[in-house]
């Protein structure tokens, strides 16, 4: 009898183990399905809160536009141009001179931002800054396959930007040829005072603000969705606990009114007692 009972017990344990394995596989499948359903639920949640997303989108656009308009000072640009070429002894420019000019352009681009040149610009214009601050205002560009050097100066003052661009071009023409032992470049374009600001771009700030506002709202909604572990529907009960509700009571105004009337009657009876 003892051995028979032991065999029955072992058989029951094996059957229970098989049943547990089967249930675990079922739960794993349901978990995989749950992840897919969660993505759909998340999308529906975002769609349900679309009015908040649109509101944050508009608020971000307005705030960043106001920030750019009221708090960022407009800047202006002026550009002068140098034509760097080394003429031969007979003053006739040949192919060799053009090739030398292309090499000299890179040298000018490097030396024009050195402190001996920038210090002369500061002294001539009596600027209240050092050469490092002045260098941050200057951008030198050399268009591809050309010997033209563009000197672009950005400043909050359009007149100052124009003066710095022209003075830097003049100092470079006078000072650098002796230093480099080459012929002086030609000033191809004199800078003019800008009539329109070059920045900030209000459209750019508005677009950035709108996108950041929308993104912040979506992150907040997603975080709330992921942290919400309350049971809202019968499907949630079945999904989290594996229990199928026998019935559900729909939310109705009649039930609410009935509950309020019952509570009111109970309060009146309590007072009479």
Q: Domain check: are 154 and 98 in the same one?
A: yes
pLDDT tens digits for range 88-130: 454 444 444 445 556 688 888 899 999 999 999 999 999 999 9
What is the band of 11 on the pLDDT scale with cuts at 50, 70, 90? low
pLDDT at 92: 47
Give domain status of residue 83, yes or no.
yes
Give domain status of residue 252, yes or no.
no
Point out the least confidently predicted range of 4-18, 30-44, 97-111, 191-205: 4-18
Give domain status of residue 260, yes or no.
no
Give domain status of residue 12, yes or no.
no
Q: Domain check: are 143 and 185 in the same one?
A: yes
- Hey, which of 23-27, 88-92, 261-265 has the most confident mean pLDDT? 261-265
CATH number for the domain that contains residue 126: 3.30.70.1130
Domain that holds residue 209: 23-72+201-245
Q: Which helix (H) or strand (E) holds 30?
A: helix 2-48
What mean pLDDT is predicted for residues 149-175? 96
Q: Domain check: are 66 and 87 in the same one?
A: no
Q: Dihedrals φ, ψ of 82, to 5°? A: -115, 140
d(CA 120, CA 157): 20
Q: Domain check: are 140 and 33 in the same one?
A: no
> How many residues are present in the chain?
273
Q: Domain check: are 132 and 214 in the same one?
A: no
Q: Domain check: are 126 and 162 in the same one?
A: yes
Number of domains, the chain = 2
Q: Domain check: are 179 and 225 in the same one?
A: no
Kindly provide the residue ranges of all beta strands, DSSP E only, lying in 61-197, ordered along the sequence.
76-83, 138-141, 148-155, 186-189
What mean pLDDT is predicted for residues 153-162? 97
d(CA 215, CA 208): 11
Give domain status of residue 62, yes or no.
yes
Q: Domain check: are 183 and 86 in the same one?
A: yes
Give domain status of residue 41, yes or no.
yes
Q: Domain check: are 83 and 156 in the same one?
A: yes
d(CA 106, CA 112): 10
Q: Domain check: are 91 and 65 in the same one?
A: no
Whether residue 62 contacts residue 147, with contact meaning beta carbons closer than 8 Å, is answered with no
Point out the least confidently predicted range of 11-25, 69-83, 116-130, 228-242: 11-25
Whether residue 104 contacts residue 184, with contact meaning beta carbons closer than 8 Å, is answered with no
Q: Domain check: are 133 and 166 in the same one?
A: yes
Q: Domain check: are 91 and 124 in the same one?
A: yes
Name which of 154, 146, 42, 53 is nearest 102 in CA terms.
146
pLDDT at 35: 45
- To the nearest whole number, what is the mean pLDDT of the chain? 79
What is the band of 225 on the pLDDT scale with cuts at 50, 70, 90? confident
Give domain status of residue 81, yes or no.
yes
Give domain status of residue 10, yes or no.
no
Q: Look at residues 189, 214, 230 and tell me which one is the last residue of a structural domain.
A: 189
Sign, Cα dihedral of 9, 11, 14, 15:
negative
């Amino acid at each position: 009898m003892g051995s028979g009972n032991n065999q029955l017990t072992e058989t029951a344990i094996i059957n229970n183990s098989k049943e547990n394995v089967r249930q675990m596989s079922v739960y794993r499948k349901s978990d995989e399905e749950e992840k897919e359903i969660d993505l759909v639920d998340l999308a529906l949640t975002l769609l349900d809160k679309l009015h908040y997303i649109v509101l944050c989108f508009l608020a971000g656009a307005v705030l960043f536009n106001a920030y750019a308009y009221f708090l960022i000072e407009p800047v202006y640009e002026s550009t002068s141009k140098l034509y760097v070429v080394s003429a031969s002894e007979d003053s006739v420019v040949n192919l060799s001179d053009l090739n030398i000019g292309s090499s000299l352009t890179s040298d000018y681009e490097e030396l024009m931002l050195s402190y001996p040149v920038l210090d002369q610009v500061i002294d001539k214009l009596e600027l209240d800054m050092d050469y490092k601050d002045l260098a941050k205002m200057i951008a030198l560009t050399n268009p591809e396959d050309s010997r033209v050097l563009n000197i672009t100066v950005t400043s909050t003052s359009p007149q100052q930007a124009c003066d710095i661009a022209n003075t830097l071009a003049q100092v470079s023409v006078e000072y650098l040829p002796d230093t480099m032992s080459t012929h002086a470049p030609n000033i191809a374009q004199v800078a003019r005072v800008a009539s329109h600001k070059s920045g900030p771009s209000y459209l750019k700030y508005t677009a950035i603000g709108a996108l950041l506002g929308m993104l912040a709202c979506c992150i907040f909604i997603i975080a709330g969705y992921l942290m919400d572990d309350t049971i809202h529907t019968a499907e949630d009960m079945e999904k989290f606990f594996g229990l199928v509700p026998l019935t559900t009571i729909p939310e109705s105004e009649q039930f609410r009114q009935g509950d309020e009337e019952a509570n009111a009657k109970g309060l009146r009876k309590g007072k009479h007692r």
